[in-house]
Structure 1
Amino acid sequence: MRPFLALAALMLPLVAAPSAAAATGRHGTDDLGGYVSTHPGPGRFPIADRGRVAPIVVSAGDHAGVIRVADDLQSDLEKVTGTRPAVGHDTLPTGRDPIILGTLGKSPLIDRMVAAGRLDVRGLAGKWETTVEQIVEHPLPGVRRAFVIAGSDQRGTIYGAYDLSKRIGISPWHFWDDVPVRHRDALYALPGRHTQGTPAVRYRGFFINDENPATGTWAPGYFGPGKAPGFPNGLNAAYYAQVFETMLRLRANYLWPAVWGRAFAEDDPQNHATASYYGVVMGTSHEAPMMRGIEEWNRHAKNGTDPYGGNGEWSFRRNADAIKAYWRDGAERMAREKIEGVITLGMRGNGDVSLPDGDGIDLMSSIIDTQRQILRDTGLIGAPQVQTLYKEVQRYWDQGYRPPDDVTVVFCDDNWGNMRKFPYASMPKRSGGYGMYYHFDYVGGGRNYKWADTVNLTNTWEQLHRAYTSGIDRLWMVNVGDLKNEEEPTQFFLDYAWNPNAIPLHELGGWEKQYAAQNFGPALAPAIAGLLADYGYLQSRRKPELLNRRITLNPTTNEIVYDDQATPFSLTDYREMDRVTAEWQTMGARADRLRRLVPAAWQDAFYQLVYYQVKATANLYALRRAEFTNILYAAQGRASTNDLADVAEARFAEDQAMSDYYNTRLAGGKWKNWQLQPKIGYGNVERYGPNAPWQQPEKDNVALPDEIYPYLKRIEVPAAAALGVALDGGDAHVLPEFSPWQSQPQQYIDVFNKGATPFAYRITAGEPWVHVTPAAGRVGKEVRATVRVDWSRAPAGTTTVPITISGAGEQVVVQAPVRRPALRPSGFAEANGYVSMLAPHYTRKVGQWQVLPRIGKTGDGLTPLGGDGARLEYAMTLTTTGPVRVSAVLSPRNDALPTPGLRYAISVDDQAPQTVDVTAATGANATTMNRQWERNTSDNVNVTTTTHTIDRAGTHTLKFWMVDPTVILQKLVVDTGGVKYSYLGPPESRVYGR
Structure 2
Amino acid sequence: MLRIKANYLWPAMWTSAFGIDDAQNQALADWWGIVMGTSHEEPIMRSTPVEWDLFGSGPWDYGVNAQNIYNFWVIGANRSKTYENIFTMACEVQAIRQLLTDVLNVSDITTVTQVWTLYKEVEGYYEDGMRVPDDVILLWTDDNFGNVRRYPLVSERNRTGGSGVYYHVDYVGEPRNYKWITSSQISKTYEQMSAAVARDAVRIWVLNVGDLKPYELHTEFFMMYGWDASLWNRNNLDTFVSSWAQREFDLSVQDATEVTDIIANVTRWNARRKPELLNSTTYSLTNYREAENVLAGWESVSNASTRIYNSLSSAMQPAFFQLVHHPCRPAIRSPICGSRLASTICEHLKHDLVRTITSLRWRIYSSKIMISRSIIIRCSTENGGHNFIVIAQPAYGQYDPFTTKVQSKKQALPGAMRIVIEGRAVAWPEHCGKDTGCPNPSVSIDPFVPAGNLFFDVGAGGPTPFTFTATSNASWLKLSSAEGSISQLSRTAHLRAQPPMSQVINFVANHTVVPSGFKGFVEGDGTVSIEAAHAARNTSVDGLTWVELPGIGRTLSGVTPWPRGGDDRNFTAGSGPSIEYDFYTFNTQNQTGNITVTTYVSPSLNSLGDDRPLAIAMQIDSGALQTNYFVPPASGGNLPPQWDGNDGWAANSIISVPMVFTASSGAHTLKLFMIEPSVVVQKIVIDTGGVLPSYLGPPESILIS
Matched, 1:601 2:315: yes
Preserved contact between residue 480 and residue 486 of structure 1 (Cα < 8 Å): yes
Report 1:534-683 matches (<5 A): 534-543=262-271, 546-547=274-275, 549=277, 564=279, 566-620=280-334, 621-629=337-345, 630-664=347-381, 666-669=382-385, 671-679=386-394
Which residue, out of 203, 228, 240, partners 1:499? 228
**CA–CA separation in structure 1 for the residues paired with 2:488 and 2:481:** 15
1:532 maps to 2:287: no
Residue in structure 1 matched with residue 194 of structure 2 by the alignment: 465
Deviation at 1:534, TM superposition (A): 3.5
2:494 aligns to what?
Answer: none
The 3 A distance-change label for structure 1 pair 567 and 962 is same
2:24 equivalent to 1:270: yes
**Does the 8 Å contact 1:833/1:979 carry over to 2?**
yes
Check the 8 A contact 2:157/2:200 in 1, yes or no.
no
Q: How many residues align?
A: 651
Is the 8 Å Cα contact of residues 540 and 857 (structure 1) preserved in structure 2? yes
Query: Residue in 2 aligned with 1:177?
Result: none
Kept in 2, the 8 Å contact 1:455–1:536? The answer is no
Structure 1 residues 838 and 530: alpha-carbon distance in aligned structure 2, compared to 1, 3 A threshold: same
- CA offset at residue 344 of structure 1? 0.5
Per-residue deviation at 1:319?
Answer: 1.9
Separation (CA, whole Å) in 2 of partners of 1:959 and 1:492: 35
**Alignment map for 1:443-522 (pairs within 5 Å):** 443-521=172-250
Q: Does the aligned pair in 2 maintain the 1:884–1:949 contact within 8 Å?
A: yes
Q: 1:984 aligned to 666, 673, 696, which one?
A: 696
Say which one has the larger Rg. Answer: 1
Counterpart-to-counterpart distance in 1, 2:119 and 2:503: 60
Q: Distance in 2 between matches of 1:520 and 1:466?
A: 33
Which of the two has greater strand per residue?
1
Deviations 1:552-574 (A, max 9, x none): xxxxxxxxxxxx4x241112111
| Residue type of the alignment partner of 1:912 | A
Matched, 1:874 2:597: no
Q: Is the 8 A contact 2:349 2:425 kept in 1?
A: no
Report the more deviating stretch, 772-781 or 880-889: 772-781
Question: CA separation of 1:503/1:253 partners in 2, compared to 1, >3 Å: closer, same or farther?
Answer: same
Residues 529 and 343 (structure 1 numbering): CA distance in 2 closer, same or farther, change over 3 Å? farther
Residue 846 of structure 1 and its aligned partner are, at CA, apart by 1.0
* Superposition deviation, residue 513 in structure 1: 2.5
Distance across 2 between alignment mates of 1:926 and 1:401? 13
What does the per-residue CA deviation read over 1:3-31, in whole Å, with 9 as the maximum and x for residues that have no partner? xxxxxxxxxxxxxxxxxxxxxxxxxxxxx
Deviation at 1:486, TM superposition (A): 0.9
| Residue 487 (structure 2) aligns with | 780
Give the structure 2 partner of residue 857 of structure 1.
554
CA distance in 1, matches of 2:690, 2:614: 29
Q: What is the correspondence of 1:943-954 to structure 2 with a 5 Å cutoff?
A: 943-950=656-663, 952-954=664-666
Once the 2 structures are TM-superposed, how far is the Cα of residue 889 of structure 1 from its aligned partner? 0.7
Q: Trace 1:811-830 onto structure 2 (pairs within 5 A).
A: 811-824=502-515, 826-830=519-523
Query: What SS class does the counterpart of residue 604 from structure 1 fall into?
Result: helix
Q: Is the 8 A contact 2:135 2:161 kept in 1?
A: yes
Q: Secondary structure at the match of 1:294?
A: coil
Is 1:715 paired with 2:411?
no
Q: Displacement of 1:614 after TM fit?
A: 2.1
In 2, distance between residues paired with 1:675 and 1:419? Answer: 28
**Cα pair 2:597 2:686 within 8 Å, conserved:** yes
CA RMSD of aligned residues (A): 2.5
Alpha carbons 2:184, 2:267 under 8 Å: kept: yes
In structure 1, C-alpha distance between the alignment counterparts of 2:168 and 2:327, rounded to whole Å: 19
**Is the Cα contact below 8 Å between 1:292 and 1:327 reproduced in 2?**
yes
Q: Amino acid of the residue matched to residue 372 of structure 1?
A: R
Whether contact under 8 Å (1:569, 1:982) holds in the other structure is: yes
Note the C-alpha offset of 1:615.
2.7
Tell me if structure 2 keeps the 8 A contact 1:761–1:808: no
Q: Distance in 1 between matches of 2:456 and 2:464?
A: 20
| Cα 1:313–1:826 shift into 2, 3 Å | same
Contact 1:925 1:932 in 2 (8 A): no
> 2 CA distance for matches of 1:410 and 1:940?
24
Q: Is the 8 A contact 2:176 2:276 kept in 1?
A: no
- Note if contact 1:410-1:437 (Cα within 8 Å) is conserved in structure 2: yes
Deviation at 1:584, TM superposition (A): 1.5
Q: TM-score, normalised by structure 2?
A: 0.87
Task: Confirm or deny: 8 A CA contact 2:537 2:579 kept in the other structure.
Answer: yes
1:842 to 504, 514, 535: 535
Task: Write the mapping of 1:384-395 to structure 2, written as runs, cut at 5 A.
Answer: 384-395=113-124
Find the residue that maps to 2:203 and give its secondary structure.
Answer: strand
Residues 538 and 770 of structure 1, relative CA distance in 2, 3 Å threshold: same
Quick check: 2:157–2:199 contact (8 Å CA) kept in 1? Answer: no
Matching residue within 96, 118, 133 for 1:371: 96
Q: Per the alignment, do residues 518 and 751 of structure 1 end up closer, same or farther by CA in structure 2, a change over 3 Å counting?
A: closer
* Alignment-mate amino acid for residue 673 of structure 1: F
> Do the aligned partners of residues 924 and 938 (structure 1) sit closer, same or farther apart at CA in structure 2, a change above 3 Å counting?
farther
TM-score normalised by structure 1 residue count: 0.62
* Mapping 1:695-706, distance limit 5 Å: 697=395, 700=396
Equivalent residue letter for 1:628: T
Percent of pairs identical after alignment?
31
Cα distance between partner residues in 2 of 1:816 and 1:547: 40
Instruction: Give the Å deviation of 1:708.
Output: 6.0
CA contact (8 A) 1:433 1:472 kept: yes
Secondary structure in 2 matching 1:459: helix
Conservation of the 8 A alpha-carbon contact between 1:739 and 1:832: yes
Asked whether the equivalents of residues 729 and 735 of structure 1 are also in contact (C-alpha less than 8 Å), the reply is no
| Aligned-partner residue type, residue 208 of structure 2 | N
1:730 aligns with 2:424: yes
Q: Which runs of 5+ in 2 are unaligned?
A: 427-439, 490-497, 564-570
Contact 1:642 1:715 in 2 (8 A): yes
Per-residue displacement from partner, 1:699-756 (whole Å, max 9, x unpaired)?
A: x3xxxxx776113222323544433232211254756642112211111122222211
| Superposition pairs of residues 107-506 of structure 1, within 5 angstroms | 247-300=1-54, 306-307=56-57, 312-335=58-81, 338-346=82-90, 364=91, 367-378=92-103, 379=105, 381=109, 382-427=111-156, 429-506=158-235
User: Contact 2:618–2:627 at 8 Å: present in 1 too?
Assistant: yes
Q: Deviations over 1:434-485 (max 9, x none)?
A: 1110111111223211112222111111211110121112111101111232
Match of 1:897 in 2: 608
| Paired residue secondary structure (1:836) | strand
Q: Is the 8 A contact 1:328 1:374 kept in 2?
A: yes
User: For structure 1, which runs of at least 5 residues remain unmatched after alignment?
Assistant: 1-246, 347-363, 551-563, 680-696, 701-705, 783-806
Superposed displacement of residue 812, structure 1? 4.5
> Hey, what's the Cα distance between the residues in 2 that align with 1:968 and 1:417?
14
For residues 609 and 525 of structure 1, the distance between their equivalents in structure 2, rounded to whole angstroms, comes to 18
Tell me whether 616-625 or 839-848 shows the greater mean CA deviation: 616-625
User: Which residue in the other structure is 2:524 paired with?
Assistant: 831
Give the secondary-structure state (helix, strand or coil) at the position aligned to 1:568. coil
Q: Write out per-residue CA displacement over residues 891-938 of structure 1, whole angstroms, 9 at most, x where no aligned residue.
A: 1111101343111111111112211112039x9998246453442222
CA distance in 1 between counterparts of 2:191 and 2:86 reads 27
Corresponding position: 1:913 with 2:625? yes
Moved more, 627-636 or 981-990: 627-636
Q: Deviation of residue 674 (structure 1)?
A: 2.6
Question: Which residue of the other structure, out of 888, 892, 906, is the alignment partner of 2:599?
Answer: 888
